[in-house]
Amino acid sequence: MTVDAATAELLRGSLASMFGDRPHDLATALDELGWADVVDADTELAQDLLMAEHARALSTAPALDAVAAAALGLAASTRFVWPYFGASSRGLPSPCSGLVEVRGLLLGDIPDAAMVPGGGGVFSCDLASLEVRPIGGVDPTAGWHLVSGTLRLSRPERDWALAELAATRGLASSLLALAESALEVAIAHVRSRHQFGQAVGSYQGVRHRLAGAYAALAGAQSLLTAATVEGGLPAARLAKAAAGRAHDRVAREAIQVCGAVGLSAEFPLAGFVRRGFLLDAFFASGRDIIRSFGQALADGADPVRVGKF
């Protein structure tokens, strides 16, 4: 069963309203929305809508956890300790048994327990035995935490590959939503600001910059659609890389056409730019993903093709 376009738009509006209300308990809010039925009807669409509206709202709720939990058949309230920046998206290295050093990211508020990926599966852990502290960086408003310490792991649960795939596609959706929001802010700004009696957006140089940004965004959106149809982690990783590069292009052009105000924290553009840079680094940046595919080609691997791309 799939969700038709009209129903999808209604869901988009409901999610935007939900995140706009800043839900304290995301799992409860999703349950009230009948989210389990949406996931059953069209899993990929549900994940895309959830992550896109979460990004547009610059929410700190653990939406990516809900996406991973749905992929693993777990409750939406299940929380995860995600691989730290620069680490493999597969989590802890294999084999995972006995005492293991953990260094990862917790998105949102701090629960009592969480799941840690590694060795092809996920492990339950008590966060009371680990150090959890807020992280700042490029976007301190994201509400992320660094989790570190030593865990004694036993038998893994579930298959992490399913969550890894869903999360990678979800991050691509978030990056594209942030890029789209940044572009909308820039377009509104150049339409409303005037120089020499004309709207800034009427000048050819400004139009060219924003047209190039839009082209990068549209291309990345098409690649994500093709990757969703194609399935598989390599296609999803390429889609995330393209989404990250599109966000970077949009961010740079939007800041340029908005002028000095585009760099200020008070201007709405800043939030979409900062959050996007943070998410691009999650599960390997677009630059790192492209480099890894290039290295694979140099080593003799076949190129990864996604649809017509």
Q: Give residue 297's pLDDT.
A: 92
Q: For the chain, which ranges sit under pLDDT 50?
A: none
pLDDT at 93 (0 to 100) = 58
| Confidence at residue 1, expressed as pLDDT on a 0 to 100 scale | 55
pTM for the full model?
A: 0.94
- 96-119, pLDDT tens digit by residue? 556 778 889 999 999 999 998 877
pLDDT of residue 97: 58
pLDDT in tens, 258-285: 988 887 888 999 999 999 999 999 988 8
What residues does CATH 1.20.140.10 cover in the chain? Answer: 161-298
According to the model, what pLDDT value does residue 308 have?
77
What's the chain look like in SS3?
CCCCHHHHHHHHHHHHHHHHCCCCCHHHHHHHCCHHHHHHHCHHHHHHHHHHHHHHCCCCCCHHHHHHHHHHCCCCCCCEEEECCCCCCCCECCCCCEEEEEEEEEECCCCCEEEEEECCEEEEEEHHHCEEEECCCCCHHHCEEEEEEEEEECCCECCHHHHHHHHHHHHHHHHHHHHHHHHHHHHHHHHHCEECCEEHHHCHHHHHHHHHHHHHHHHHHHHHHHHHHHCCHHHHHHHHHHHHHHHHHHHHHHHHHHHHHHHCCCCCHHHHHHHHHHHHHCCCCHHHHHHHHHHHHHCCCCCCCCCCC
- CATH code matching the domain that covers 161-298, chosen among 3.40.630.10, 1.10.150.20, 1.20.140.10, 3.20.20.80: 1.20.140.10
pLDDT value at position 138? 87
